[in-house]
Amino acid sequence: MRNVLKIPSNYIVSRWTMEAKKGVKDKCGCLSSTSSKFSRFILLHELYDIMRRIVEPALESDVLFEKVKLSLCKLAEDVNETREHLSNIFAPSPSTHCSVTEDEVYGCSRSVDASPLVLDPPYARGVGRPRTKRRKPSWEKGQKASMQKTQSKERSPTGRKCKVCNKSGHDKRTCPVRVSGM
């Protein structure tokens, strides 16, 4: 999208997603994330519109058809050469911005983008206890706790002792001494 001076109102939402920056172009004009299917769709649609404007008039006459066909073949060769040239050049580090050589590769002179870089959206804390501050049971805390648990299991099957008879395996509600005393 070129010559956009204002963000369309349908793109302004009250709550952004975690991937709000996907498909956003940086200062060089390169996509910051090419893995986004939506940004790929936008690029394909843009190219399709240009091709449609070229191809529709070319179908009206044979002379125009041959001229467009020849031009598209030359363009395909140029694209393949540029693609090979770009694959030979090492990718610049993310901290660098466009240089003269990159502009020469694209074959056009670009002015520096006056719009500021797109910042990360503010993250709001979710509802409820954060995962990192959750209380973990002893068996989940680590090997030290698991070693203590196995040692306590060897001492007693349940890990607790009855308050009445001081034996393990039951509690005071099910104590055989208390039940027989009643």
**Phi–psi pair at 161, nearest 5 degrees:** -120, 150
| pLDDT, tens only, 160-170 | 788 888 888 88
List Cβ<8 Å contacts ≥24 apart for 90-99.
Answer: 97/27, 97/28, 98/27, 98/28, 98/29
Task: Give the separation between CA 178 and CA 175, rounded to whole angstroms.
Answer: 5
Element (H, E) at 85: helix 62-88
Task: Give the separation between CA 10 and CA 177, rounded to whole angstroms.
Answer: 75
If DSSP codes are grouped into helix, strand and coil, which group holds residue 25? strand
**Phi–psi pair at 102, nearest 5 degrees:** -65, -40
If DSSP codes are grouped into helix, strand and coil, which group holds residue 168? strand
User: Cα torsion at 143, 148, 151, 155 (round to 10°)?
Assistant: -160
Task: Please tell me the predicted confidence (pLDDT) of residue 108.
Answer: 45
pTM of the full predicted structure? 0.32
| Cα Rg of the chain, angstroms | 34
Task: Give the separation between CA 99 and CA 119, rounded to whole angstroms.
Answer: 23
Per-residue DSSP letter, 8: -
Share of the chain above pLDDT 90, in %: 12
66 or 112, which is more confident = 66
